[in-house]
């Protein structure tokens, strides 16, 4: 449903941003060069407004026929994941809908019910938006707002050589869940396939963990484009490189079962998108603190690698097997 990019020169969405859109952000510090999960605006001496937006197109970001309540929750949660990566407290959101004629009143009622449930869970409310009709596929977009103290704001640009790379939760469930939901995985039992599919359909943004990582993490990003891609964004913003230990990457029992059925899925688990976990860097002396705030937030934190100086040659993110063999062909997602 998305195009897979490589570590070769940028193309597609990132090239468009670099060439045409980034210059429009010149002179606005909070835009962060359009290179982070969100942007910010000062609204008081002790408070910044963090702003992020994501759109979902039928057949590109979600499967046709998706129940509207579940779709609404994924739409809101992917934005909340961006706020989490910057340690922001959710505040409000605006909603834009471009809907085809096939959408019924029952569909709209279900969408509203899904949003209402997550508003209660994550503590935010609808501020406004727009609703239009379209002759094409449905397009839904949320712009979410959160607040954070300036000293607590996390960005992608603070990683330094020697920092440890950590992730929350388990990796690959979203990417493998898409395979399970769309194509099926031969030999995988129904319970494992359903568990993976649910991780794809209804991710859990690590909002509480993101806030607790303020003052502990040196850089942070949410895992929407896959581990290699999003850690690569941290490396680019921080001017560093990263080496990961493949054996340390946390996989859920359903993901391990899927890989046992089809070993080719291991690479997809390591580099596919849609996990909406957090990848972050911490100085070595703070790894224990990061693990502790993970427990307080109800999610595991795993150390998976180390930040190194950038050498200007080869990919910014490399992943090694226990015997030192480097995995090749890993990348992140981007749109054409």
Residue 244 has a pLDDT of 97
Q: What is the mean predicted confidence (pLDDT) over 290-306?
A: 98
Q: Are 158 and 218 in contact (CB under 8 A)?
A: yes
Structure tokens at 54: 């994501």
Please determine, for residue 254, whether its predicted confidence score (pLDDT) is greater than 60. yes
Span 143-162, mean pLDDT?
98
- Averaged pLDDT score across all residues of the chain: 92
Spatial separation of the C-alpha atoms in residues 156 and 237, rounded to whole Å: 6
Instruction: Please state the pTM of the whole predicted model.
Output: 0.92
Contact in structure between 173 and 258 (CB atoms under 8 Å): no
The mean pLDDT of 16-28, rounded to a whole number, is 87
E strands, the chain, in order: 3-4, 39-44, 47-57, 89-99, 125-133, 139-148, 164-168, 219-222, 240-245, 278-282, 301-309, 317-320, 333-334
Strands 301-309 and 317-320: unpaired
For residue 9, what pLDDT is reported?
39
Q: Count of CB atoms within 10 A of residue 318's CB? A: 18
Residue 307 to residues 18, 71, 160, 249, 303: CA-CA distances in angstroms?
A: 25, 36, 6, 16, 12
Does residue 189 surpass a pLDDT of 60?
A: yes
Sorted by where each starts, the structural domains of the chain and their CATH numbers stand as 35-152 (3.30.1330.10), 164-334 (3.90.650.10)
* Rounded alpha-carbon distances, angstroms, from residue 29 to 15, 40, 135, 218: 21, 8, 39, 19
Query: Residue 11: what pLDDT?
Result: 53
pLDDT per residue as tens digits for the range 194-242: 999 999 999 999 999 999 999 999 999 999 999 999 999 999 999 999 9
User: From CA 224, how far away is CA 174, in angstroms rounded?
Assistant: 9
Q: In terms of Cα–Cα distance, which of 147, 299, 144, 168 is closest to 230?
A: 168
Question: Across residues 27-56, what is the average pLDDT?
Answer: 91
Contact predicate 51/39, CB 8 Å: yes
Tokens of 324: 């030192």
User: Would the pLDDT of 6 be above 60?
Assistant: no
pLDDT 10s digits, 105-114: 999 999 999 9
Distance from C-alpha of 142 to C-alpha of 206, rounded to nearest angstrom: 18
**Least trusted range by pLDDT, from 11-20, 91-100, 176-185, 247-256:** 11-20
* pLDDT at res. 69: 97
């Amino acid at each position: 449903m998305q195009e897979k990019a490589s570590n070769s020169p940028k193309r597609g969405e990132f090239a468009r941003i670099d060439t045409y859109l980034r210059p429009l952000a010149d002179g606005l510090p909070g835009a962060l060069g359009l290179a982070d999960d969100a942007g910010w605006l000062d609204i008081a001496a002790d408070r910044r407004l963090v702003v992020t937006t994501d759109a979902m197109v039928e057949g590109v970001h979600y499967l046709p026929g998706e129940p509207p309540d579940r779709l609404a929750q994924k739409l809101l949660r992917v934005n909340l994941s961006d706020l989490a990566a910057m340690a922001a407290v959710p505040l409000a959101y605006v909603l834009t809908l471009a809907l085809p004629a096939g959408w019924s009143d029952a569909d709209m009622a279900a969408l509203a019910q899904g949003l209402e449930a997550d508003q209660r869970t994550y503590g935010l409310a609808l501020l406004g938006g727009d609703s239009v009709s379209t002759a094409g596929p449905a397009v839904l977009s949320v712009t979410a707002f959160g607040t954070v103290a300036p000293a607590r704001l996390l960005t992608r640009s603070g990683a330094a050589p020697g920092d440890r790379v950590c992730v929350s939760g388990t990796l690959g469930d979203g990417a493998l869940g898409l395979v399970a939901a769309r194509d099926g995985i031969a030999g995988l039992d129904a319970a494992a396939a359903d568990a993976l599919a649910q991780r794809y359909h209804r991710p859990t943004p690590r909002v509480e963990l993101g806030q607790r990582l303020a003052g502990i993490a040196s850089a942070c990003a949410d895992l929407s484009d896959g581990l290699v891609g999003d850690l690569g964004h941290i490396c680019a913003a921080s001017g560093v490189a990263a080496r990961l230990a493949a054996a340390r990457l946390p996989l859920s029992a359903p993901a391990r079962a899927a890989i046992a059925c089809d070993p080719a899925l291991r690479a997809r688990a390591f580099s596919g998108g849609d996990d909406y976990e957090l990848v972050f860097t911490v100085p070595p002396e703070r790894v224990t603190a990061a693990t502790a705030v993970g427990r307080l937030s109800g999610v595991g934190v795993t150390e998976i690698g180390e930040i190194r100086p950038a050498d200007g040659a080869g990919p910014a993110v490399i992943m090694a097997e226990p015997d030192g063999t480097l995995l090749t062909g890993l990348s992140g997602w981007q749109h054409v």
